[in-house]
Amino acid sequence: MPKVMNFSENLEKGFEKIGHRVRENIEKNPEVKESSERAIVKESIVSIAREVPESPSSDQAEGDGKPSLLPSYFVSEDGSEDEAKRAVEHLVDMTLHGNLEKAIQISKKYPAFVEDAFHDALVDKLVPELKKKGILP
């Protein structure tokens, strides 16, 4: 079972947006209730990402020695990191510190697989919190 993080107050705005989108998806699409929790949350994140315009910012991922925030399929057996892994960790860390929209804007500058891994990593972190708040059953 994934460890539930204490989310900063700065994340609440982005978290509320994701939670609202999850509720909206469940209410508007009864067939969504048959989907997995992960699929519901990921689709909600992706739908928000579609609405966020790209930014002219030149922010790039930076390694900071923090524990991995990557989805399990993205971590290599030897634990080595490459630019894509560092990018995903940077984006997730940015999101968890309250900059969801900026992280989404920056993720759009990377190849699609990095953006998708970022969404998966967010799902891993958000599903337990959405359950705790009663947004997911």
Pairwise CA distance, residues 127 & 31, whole Å: 19
Q: Residues 126, 128, 134, 137: what is their CA dihedral angle, to the nearest 10 degrees?
A: 110
Specify the higher pLDDT residue, 81 or 101: 101
Pairwise CA distance, residues 14 & 135, whole Å: 14
- pLDDT at residue 111 greater than cutoff 70: yes
- Put simply, whether the predicted model's pTM sits higher than 0.85 gets the answer no
Q: What is the mean pLDDT of residues 114-126?
A: 90
Q: Which two tokens stand for residue 137?
A: 């059953």
pLDDT, one tens digit per residue, over 59-84 is 444 444 455 555 655 555 555 557 88
Is 126 in contact with 103 (CB distance < 8 Å)? no
